[in-house]
Structure formats: structure tokens, C-alpha cells
């Protein structure tokens, strides 16, 4: 499974919104784009896709920007990835006409299920905590 740049940018954006959930002002696209080197026009498209899925909300105007529509603990990596890339399962092109192809397909299905289970287990609240831990640990290098 390869994670697309679009999915990575979406996860970064959601993580930044989760880190700023208690801020009174919405987070501006430019702030996210500039701090992570994401093309702003591309980020706009991603945030609109996330908005359409109900993951983020937007406020227009000079003081506008984006906020999470849900609590970070209610958003999993799998949910964000599915919005951007669709299905997060591993797909095989093997025809199940031999014992070898049936065995391989069953393993692909098992790996796919474990991958989805793992992506569902990681929520953005956990990622915020991990990010805070990394910032604290940066001073002890």
C-alpha cells in the first residue's frame, strides 16, 4: 500500500487542525501550507474534500479558516484516508483458479483487514499527543 501525497497532506492538515482545536480563531490555509511546504492551491482542494465529508468546517472572510467538525478522538487515520483515496483495502488481480492464487488472495485479505484495523486504531487525539511528545523530546537530543 502506497500512501499518496494527497493523503499525507490531508492527514497533516487534520493533525494541524486537531492541534489547534482549542484556539478561538480558525486555522488559515496559508498557515498550514507554509509551515509544511504544501502547495496552497492543492491544500484548498483537499480541505474542500474533507469539508464535503464532514470532517472539517470552514469560516469565510478575513478572519476565516478551517476547524475540525468533530473531536480529534473521533477521527481515525482510516476515516481521513478513505475520504481522500477511497478504499484502503489491498486489492489483488489474481484469479482464484489455483490453490496458490487462493492462498495468496486469502493472505492479502488478512493483511488488508489488519491494515484497516490498525488505521482505525490510530485517532488524531493520539497523533496530537505524539506530536507534543516529539516537541518536548526535541530539547533532549
Q: pLDDT digits over 69-112, tens only?
A: 999 999 999 999 999 988 777 777 777 778 888 899 889 889 98
The structure's pTM equals 0.86
Cβ–Cβ < 8 Å for 4, 85:
yes
C-alpha grid cell, residue 22? 482549542
Residue 19: alpha-carbon gap to chain centroid:
14
Structure confidence at residue 124 (pLDDT): 97
Instruction: Check which CATH number belongs to the domain holding 41 and give it.
Output: 1.10.10.10
Domain count, the chain: 1
List C-alpha distances in Å: 139 to 35, 54, 135.
20, 37, 8
pLDDT tens profile 25-75: 999 999 999 999 999 999 999 999 999 999 999 999 888 899 999 999 999
d(CA 120, CA 107): 20
pLDDT band at 139 (very low <50, low <70, confident <90, very high): very low
So what's the pLDDT on residue 50?
Answer: 98
Structural domain of residue 33, as residue ranges? 5-140
pLDDT for position 137: 52
Amino acid at each position: 500500500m502506497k500512501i499518496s501525497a494527497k493523503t499525507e497532506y490531508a492527514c497533516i492538515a487534520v493533525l494541524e487542525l486537531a492541534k489547534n482545536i482549542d484556539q478561538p480563531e480558525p486555522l488559515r490555509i496559508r498557515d498550514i501550507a507554509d509551515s509544511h511546504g504544501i502547495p496552497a492551491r492543492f491544500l484548498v482542494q483537499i480541505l474542500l474534500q474533507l469539508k464535503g465529508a464532514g470532517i472539517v468546517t470552514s469560516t469565510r472572510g478575513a478572519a476565516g479558516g478551517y476547524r475540525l467538525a468533530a473531536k480529534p478522538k473521533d477521527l481515525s487515520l482510516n476515516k481521513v484516508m478513505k475520504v481522500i483515496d477511497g478504499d484502503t483495502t489491498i486489492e489483488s488481480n489474481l484469479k482464484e483458479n489455483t490453490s496458490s492464487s487462493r492462498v495468496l488472495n486469502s493472505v492479502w485479505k488478512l493483511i488488508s483487514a489488519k491494515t484497516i484495523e490498525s488505521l482505525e486504531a490510530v485517532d488524531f487525539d493520539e497523533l496530537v499527543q505524539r506530536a507534543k511528545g516529539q516537541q518536548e523530546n526535541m530539547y533532549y537530543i
